Amino acid sequence: MIPLHKEGLQVLSEHIQKSDIVVVAPLNWGLGHATRCIPLIQYLVSHCEEVIIASDGLSLKLLTKEFPTLKTYVLPSYEVNYKYPSMILNMIMQGPSIFFTYLKELKIAKKIASETLATVIVSDNRFGFRAFGTKNFYITHQVNILHPTRLITWISSSVHRYFIDKFDQCWIPDFAGERSLSGKLSESSAIKNVAYLGPLTRIKNKKSYIKWDICILLSGPEPQRTVLENTLIDILPSWNTRKILMIRGTTNTNPKVKQIPDNCTIIDLADSSEISDALHSSRLLIARSGYTTVMDIAHLDLKAIFIPTPGQTEQEYLAKALTSNPKYSWVKQSDVSSIGKVLK
């Protein structure tokens, strides 16, 4: 079991009892929400009566692989995609669909709580997954939705906080204050009831020998995950002197994968053990600048090049902020063809 930080242990000991039946429901928006719930689920399995997993898509598939003996429920999918380069435009265009999924979540959360006699719901960024009569906790590191336009930042952050305040407590997977990894994203002065868990990572420090020059870790919403995958596949032949591991982060078929050169090994969907082995045995990581990835590598002696998802201002903020550490660099997805210069 991966140990939690003392901050997290204190919060959980205050709110979780041995008799509790807990439903953990991560958002299926990339794999980050699911993977950061893994150490939390491990703790809950050993400290309460029953743990139930509720999610959809790849997130549910990953957690079922990690915890094959736990009961699972399929939740309605938000099916958010990044068709446009503007996050705000993406949200506006998909607003009606997101709202109706939110209403479905409220209904199915009530049904699941009734069927399982759940006493606690832990929702990772599913703001509709809560039920009357249970203790409801909401996990997010992104209390503030940052945008270059201040008015948009204020409106979007206020809307998010409105939904956060409907839960009993907001759990932030980060340290408070100067030790924070997420910076302005998790500043929580406007939240009614908040607690810090410390970073949640499925990666445990261990000694390992270097096997890979480069580990490419793909994740995130479509179609941008595939766009990045195809762009990287096109330039892989120019890295033929390096040993490369690519973890695609999906089980979807991509014809371009057949063009992968012999120096590159492919894994579609990796479990925690495989991800841990890959990170510990690589010299360099190429990945999205998602917060879960940041938590996973913060304590590792690993260099990284981040490629934020276009239009995802959270990842753009983190990528820029992280470059204050000389181990890290970042490039825009539109400039990935120039990544060779960064490698040199």
| pLDDT score, position 94 | 58
What is the arrangement of strands in the sheet containing 282-287, beginning at the earlier edge strand? 264-267, 244-247, 212-217, 282-287, 303-306, 328-330
Of the pLDDT bands very low, low, confident and very high (cuts 50, 70, 90), residue 88 is low
pLDDT for position 1: 67
Q: What tokens does 10 get?
A: 């204190």
In the chain, pLDDT over 70 holds for what percent of residues?
94
Please name the residue that has the structure tokens 């993977």: 35
Peptide bond into 326 cis (omega under 30): no
CA-nearest of 214, 235, 231, 213 to 223 is 231
Which pLDDT score is estimated for 92? 61
**What does DSSP assign to residue 56?**
-
DSSP label at residue 94: T
Query: What is the predicted pLDDT for the residue at 246?
Result: 95
Q: What is the largest CA-CA distance in the chain?
A: 59
The answer to whether 305 and 286 are in contact (CB under 8 A) is yes
Closest CA to 52 of 24, 11, 13: 24
Q: Which two structure tokens, joined as six digits, stand for 182?
A: 């997420």
Q: What percent of the chain has pLDDT over 90?
A: 59
Read off the tokens for 284.
């360099």
* Entry pTM: 0.86
Give the pLDDT confidence of 110-151 residue by residue, as tens digits: 999 999 999 999 999 999 999 999 999 999 998 888 877 888
Closest C-alpha among 58, 88, 34, 54 to residue 222: 58
Mean pLDDT (the chain, rounded): 89
pLDDT over 90 at 83, yes or no: no
- Which residues lie across from 196 on neighbouring strands? 172
pLDDT score at 299: 85
Domains in the chain, start-ordered, CATH in brackets?
6-196 (3.40.50.2000), 212-343 (3.40.50.2000)
What strands lie across the sheet with 194-196, from one edge to the other? 71-74, 50-55, 21-26, 120-124, 135-139, 169-172, 194-196
Q: Give the per-residue pLDDT at 6.
A: 93
Which position has the token pair 């039920």? 131
CA distance 34 to 24: 10
Dihedral angle over CA of 331, 335, 341, 344, nearest 10: 40
